[in-house]
Amino acid sequence: MKLTADSIEKRWLAGIILVGLAARVVTVVILDIQPDSDYLSYQTMALNLLEGKGIIDSMGNHAMYNVGYPLFILAPVFALFGADLLAAQLVNAVLGIASTAMCYAIANEAGAGRIGRLLAAALWALYLPSWLYAEYLAKENLMTPLMLGVTWCALRLTKGISVKNAAGCGTLLGLLALTGNAGLALVTVVMAALLLAPARKGLKFAALLITFITSGVIATPWMIRNIYAIGAPVLNTNGGFNLYLGNNPAATGYFVSIADTPRGPTWNTLRGEGEARASETLQREAVDWILEHPRRFVELALRKAVLFWTPPLHEGKGQGSTMETVARRIWLLQFGVLTIAAIGGAFLSGLRTRHIGLVWLAIAAYTGVHMIFYVIFRYREPIMPLLAVLAAANLEVLWLRWGYERVHSRSTRNALAAFVGKGLPTYASIRCRLRTYR
């Protein structure tokens, strides 16, 4: 039976997913990194829940950390397999593959052709840091597919508003509210998508209302729990803490320990007044500092934007092994390729579409959040798949524009044309030009 181009594409996608999954599984099996810091807190939250102690982290806090990852991922895994790190890490690997599939779906909604769709999936499947983070019990493992899901829903809203799409956006945003607050920056993408949607204003407003109601239904129970646990209807108590770390006399743009800030000597005393009170106090002090030093705040914000997208030139702690050195070089190379290819697409008129624009808006909004708080390289990872989508779009267009012209073999050209078939990108100006190659 002769395979169709669509069948071949599905087989390629399946192969990419399997390769990405295998890479992640091998990584988590080989590495043996015990949870510490945030990762230990997420593990402790899940284990305490299963032991009937409630959701409490390793420092005794009830709502300092986001609850989504330990509640929806770690707790079910530990309930089924016991406190088995490998089981949780293998689930992280599956989440990474879900993100790979979402890259393909987003590229498709953004107008990519067959090559662009597959390339977007491949770029993320083979992105080395995404393998390594499967080893860590980090909330970013869940944040990434959720953020990609919101972006995908937003792109679909631009083509037609439906209750299903609006509720889908709301569900994903509600889960993001519980998993990683920074992901809520994508609300701007959903709102922009609704503005661009071909629908009446009343329908757009109804869709926005459905989105917010759905997200509220998911997030509100946890806020009610926190009223009873800490006396405040909040998603978590690290907002004021993080705002202060990024905006105080000792702030550098990167994470700094609370011990190295003016609050250091009195931090333990403040903590003793309760999580909610401590968060409110730190938030107030951060806002006061911003109002008193507006120029320094702007300078820091711009510095954070640069730091957020700084290539991974840093070294790890201690003397790194040869394997670690090689991994960091590969990471730097991949980051450079994705960044240059994505930015290069901005200079192609055919890629200046509303859908590509929404993807850029998602990246800009997520970057903007970290300009207010502080930067850790790990925080960049959830948005990197969208950079892969943009890079794939640019590389596909360059290939289709000039690649065909340089293929001198008629049989090879025919084979390429047969594979691409109707799978040309839908960027209008490019599509018209490329018809001449078929």
pLDDT at 428 over 90: no
**pLDDT tens, position by position, 405-425:** 565 555 555 555 555 544 555
Q: What percent of the chain has pLDDT over 90?
A: 72
318 within a domain of the structure (yes/no): no
DSSP 184: G
pLDDT (tens digit per residue) in 146-190: 999 999 999 999 988 889 999 999 999 999 999 999 999 999 999
Number of compact structural domains in the chain:
1
State the average pLDDT for the chain.
89
User: Does some domain include residue 415?
Assistant: no
Query: How many whole angstroms separate alpha carbon 291 and alpha carbon 130?
Result: 39
Burial level of 138, CB count in 10 A (0-12/13-18/19+)?
buried
* 180 class by beta-carbon count within 10 Å (0-12 exposed, 13-18 middle, 19+ buried): buried
Q: Does residue 170 lie within any of the structural domains?
A: yes
Confidence at residue 409, expressed as pLDDT on a 0 to 100 scale: 55
Q: How many CB atoms lie within 10 A of CB 90?
A: 19
DSSP 8-state class, residue 375: B
Q: Which domain holds residue 108?
A: 5-312+327-406
In a domain, 437, yes or no: no
Length of the chain: 438
Q: Is residue 255 part of a domain?
A: yes
**CA nearest neighbour of 164 among 214, 198, 202, 199:** 214
Do 14 and 6 meet the contact criterion of CB atoms below 8 Å apart?
A: no
Say if residues 381 and 135 touch (Cβ distance below 8 Å). Answer: no
Task: Identify whether 426 is part of a domain.
Answer: no
Asked whether residue 434 is domain-assigned, the answer is no
Q: Is residue 425 part of a domain?
A: no
